[in-house]
Amino acid sequence: MKKNEMAILIEGLRRLSADVLQIAEALEGKPEEAPVTAAEAAPSESTAKEETKTYSLEEVRRILADKSRSGYRAEVKALLTAHGASRLSDITDPAALSALALEAEVIGNG
């Protein structure tokens, strides 16, 4: 696995962990401990454009299949695991599908 790909996977895991923590705190009724900074609250234009793109299950399946066929099967599996899934059909949230697609698209492009 290339250094850039590993960095992407690590960042995905960090975001996933932060999201899980926020959900747990929301369920407990606790406020977030760390306030969001202005830099975090206002994404750059390129990030905002990427986040507005939504992907269907079929589109994500095609992207992951292409990456797997291109020799990145382990990286695809790691992305699924980072999103808390053992297979693509385990991910039902459209936002999570889009995030997975965006992360998968950079595999092999570094």
Q: What is the pLDDT of residues 14-54, one digit of tens each?
A: 787 777 777 777 777 755 555 555 555 555 555 555 556 88
Residues contacting 32, CB < 8 A, separation 6+: 22, 25
Which residues, at least 6 apart from 103, have a Cβ–Cβ distance to it below 8 Å?
A: 8, 12, 79, 82
Query: How many Å is the maximal CA-CA distance in the chain?
Result: 45
Domain that holds residue 77: 3-105
* pLDDT tens column, 60-85: 999 999 999 999 999 999 999 998 89
CB 78 within 8 A of CB 9: yes
Side chain identity at 78, as an amino acid letter? A
Is 63 within the bounds of a domain?
yes
Alpha-carbon gap, residue 109 to 100, rounded angstroms:
16
Supply the pTM of this predicted model.
0.54
Whether 59 maps to a domain, the answer reads yes
Structural domain includes residue 78: yes
Residue 110 located in a structural domain: no
